[in-house]
Structure 1
Amino acid sequence: MKKLLCMACVLLCGFSFADDDKNCREWSELAGMIMKARQSNLPMYENLELIDEIYGSNEKAVKALKKIVIMAYEQPQFGLEEYKEKTIVDFENDIMLACMKAKM
């Protein structure tokens, strides 16, 4: 999990759209949606295509979100709901923490 947090911190460092707590919360929520899709067995390419479709005009956001997708799909997929939910919340928290640290 520390490796994941370090990767997230590097990912979000320097992005001007991570400059307040509200934006960090939005990043966290997006990360949660990505991880929820991963835990629901959505193919990775569908997550990537959706990012291009929604954020295609914002290169920095697309690049950061694609890295978050990669980070999510590096995590194991679980069968039990309680493990899925814990994984989603942990991932959201890791991204929130990395975003807030990037602002300091």
Structure 2
Amino acid sequence: MRKLMLYFLVVLPSISLAEQPSCEDVSDLARDVMRNRQANIPMAEMMKATEGMPMVQSIIKEAYKIPRYGSEEFKRDAMTDFSNNWYMACLESGE
């Protein structure tokens, strides 16, 4: 939990304050949000930690629509798929 809060306090402000985060930043953020989702971090804690960051909260909301998995392999696949989906969405939004 300490790592989650550190991430939200240090990394996210730089992403949220940037005019246009890079697609790599979005992808990394999506992967980390899904990692926290798979680690059973409560959604309410993540939403509270990201108040005023609508893009980040959109990613969190989407992550919590995906089930938590028991197997480490399925968790890794969920993180990769979620990250790739957000990366693609970012790329397509720039076209």
Shorter-normalised TM range: 0.7 to 0.9
Do residues 83 (structure 1) and 74 (structure 2) align?
Answer: yes
Aligned with 1:77: secondary structure? coil
Structure 1 stretches of 4+ with a deviation exceeding 3 A read: none
1:55-94 matches, within 5 Å, as 56=52, 62-94=53-85
Any gaps of 5 or more consecutive residues in structure 1? 1-15, 57-61
Any gaps of 5 or more consecutive residues in structure 2? 1-18
Structure 2 residue identity aligned to 1:80? S
Aligned residues: 77
- Deviation of residue 49 (structure 1)? 1.9
**Greater share of residues in helix:** 1
Aligned with 2:41: secondary structure? coil
Identity in percent: 32
Structure 1 residue identity aligned to 2:67? P
TM-score, normalised via structure 1 length: 0.70
* Root mean square deviation of aligned Cα: 1.1
TM-score, normalised via structure 2 length: 0.77
In the aligned structure 1, how far is the partner of 2:76 from the partner of 2:49?
22
